[in-house]
Amino acid sequence: MTRPRQTIIYLAYACISLFACTNETEFEIKNDKIRSLIKVGSDSINAQAYFPDRDVRNYLHGEFNDFYKEREYNLAWLNFDEPEKWADELLEALDSAPEHGLRSESYETKKIEELLNSIYNIESQKEKRKKWRKKLIKTKKFKEKMREEDTVRFKDIAQLDFLLTASYLTYGSHLLSGRIDPNEKEEWFAPRRKNNLSEHLTNAIEQNDIKGSLHALEPSLKQYTLLQEYLIHIRKILNRPIAEIQQPLRPDDKSYEVVKAKKRLTFLKDIEISMNDSAFYDKSTIDAVRQFQHINGLEETGEIDQRTLSLLNKPLSYWIDKIETNMERMRWLQRDFEDEYILINIPAYELKVMRKNNVALSMKVIVGTRYKKTPVFSDTIEYVVFNPSWTVPTKIAIEDMLPRLKKEDDYLSTRNLRLYEGWSVNAKELQQKDVDWDCVDSSNWKYRIVQAPGPKNSLGRIKFMMPNSQFIYLHDTPAHHLFSLKERSFSHGCIRVEKPLELAELILNWDRKKTVRYLEAEITQSVVLKNKLPVHIVYWSAWVSEDGIINFRDDIYNHDQDQQKKIKQKEKIIAHVNEQD
């Protein structure tokens, strides 16, 4: 090879190397600038600005900082040429937030879209996202813009990356454990699900599976998925015009009001009705009304009475709110249910023993009144007591019994109640007449009242103990006539069960003969379960039954109303914060 040719080749190699080095150096300079911005911006104090939801801000800004620290302050969602494809995947996931009863706008999607368009000179709405890469590659103006080392632009890129990370963490937190803390309510005890979200996001990016990672944070409870299907269905028909029914209706009625009733009955996909323009209240209409009444826990008369009319005239937004409210509650559950457990649904006044997703036993229950609510919590039954005595809680003794002790001289004796001077084991037993009840009030109450075992005992013949700080347990009752009523909120908070013998036999694996033998002994005996049985006391005013039918119930404790009010207040605050930015 001649020397001139060698020289040309060496010069060519040198130029290529120099160009490569220049490009590499340029990239490193850009990257260092971005990393410096990210390091400062992801500091715990600065990071708080990216979380308009104050309730999650307190702990997510730490996750935010950990996430960027772990990746050495490099960009997560973007590079200098274009957004990473998982950024698009996140935006698609945020677009589907309403399917979970959440609001896309709560995750700063508008601001993210604006920054994407500003930085990359593209429209980033849903229908445009698939064209990102083609347009980015072909746009000369974009390439020229990319070569600019404008500090403002770097700040925008860092801010956009922060917004995407904060949106993922916030949305993930909402899917994982809900938007509001249930434990702020006095009657709610729900340890919330936890996850290391910064690590979860790191893994999602490494595996290029943002949607899958978010799906993994959703409740695994089958009920959640079933309610979600109904939510999507009702949202599809949300804007369908449906006229209100003006009056109650009965079978054989004939009027245009019947036509309106038929149309309203079709919004729930479980109700079967022959749709036609007939104004006649026929058998098909009767059956459909009965289905609607069954779904709502009403008397199944087939007539559109005043109560049925009131529910039928509810706007579709009412049913959406109802479903979304209960989906939120399912996000509060710490885990999925076990293979075997007891489920008690307060608004349904119902208990079910579940074994591998099948109902082994179901029965009616009586729950606390509106003023003495049954709390929501999970625990385990540890033992069963046959022929229990009842030590009256001080609160019940003062609030319910003291006024009657002052008026009725034989109040204790007629109810097989025994009075003790104090709470010690050796406390002296007293007669009702030994106490000047007119001088007794809540400030000087010191007495213990005990009801001996027997058929009139307030706990009945069996109680099911799950020791807890709320002093709540399951028990029999002498007042079995109350189970014939539709609405059964009569207790002081404990749960009265309709079929105590069947429940005891099922969880102890006994036959009726053995159960009766223990009862007829007429002495108090405790039997410890070989395996503790989980009990979940829930407040579901919307759920899907085993036959796949949606069910709704009255909000007997106003928990729905309180929860919806809190969530709307939160959404209003978030919207205000987003407008200020």
- The secondary structure of 103-119 as a DSSP string is -GGGGTHHHHHHHHHHH
Residues of the chain with CATH 2.40.440.10: 337-388+458-540
Q: Which regions in the chain score pLDDT beneath 70? A: 1-27, 44, 122-152, 275, 581
Q: DSSP E strands: which ranges in 283-441?
A: 340-345, 350-355, 358-368, 377-386, 390-391, 417-420, 429-430
Active site annotation includes 233? no
Burial letters 534-543, b for 16+ CB under 10 A, else e? bbbbbbbbbb
DSSP string, 423-438: SSTTPPEE-GGGS-GG
Active site annotation includes 494? yes
> Which residue matches tokens 């559950």?
333
For strands 474-475 and 462-465, give the pairing.
antiparallel
Answer whether 0.75 is exceeded by the pTM: yes
Determine the Cα–Cα distance for residues 148 and 146; give it in Å rounded to an integer: 5
- Phi/psi class of residue 499: alpha, beta or left (left: φ > 0; alpha: ψ in -120 to 50)? beta
- In this prediction, residue 24 carries a pLDDT of 58
What Rg do the C-alpha atoms of the chain give, in angstroms? 33
- In this prediction, residue 81 carries a pLDDT of 78
Reported as a single tens digit per residue, the pLDDT across 5-49 is: 554 444 444 444 444 444 556 667 777 888 888 998 888 677 788
Choose the catalytic residue: 475, 480, 481, 559.
475
CATH of domain 337-388+458-540: 2.40.440.10
DSSP bridge partners of 537: 344, 377
Reported as a single tens digit per residue, the pLDDT across 465-497 is: 999 988 999 999 999 999 999 999 999 999 999
What do you get for the CA distance between the two ends of the chain, in Å? 67
- In this prediction, residue 153 carries a pLDDT of 79
- In this prediction, residue 268 carries a pLDDT of 79
- In this prediction, residue 124 carries a pLDDT of 44
Q: DSSP character for 376?
A: B
DSSP string, 186-249: TTB--PPP---HHHHHHHHHHTT-HHHHHHHHS---HHHHHHHHHHHHHHHTTT---PPP-S-B
- Amino acid symbol at 15: C
- Amino acid symbol at 467: P
Determine the Cα–Cα distance for residues 56 and 106; give it in Å rounded to an integer: 12
- Phi/psi class of residue 301: alpha, beta or left (left: φ > 0; alpha: ψ in -120 to 50)? alpha
- In this prediction, residue 134 carries a pLDDT of 53
Distances in Å between the Cα of 525 and the Cα atoms of 109, 415, 479, 514 are 62, 22, 23, 13
- In this prediction, residue 172 carries a pLDDT of 97
Phi, psi (5° rounding) for residue 300?
-90, 75
Choose the catalytic residue: 100, 200, 492, 494.
494
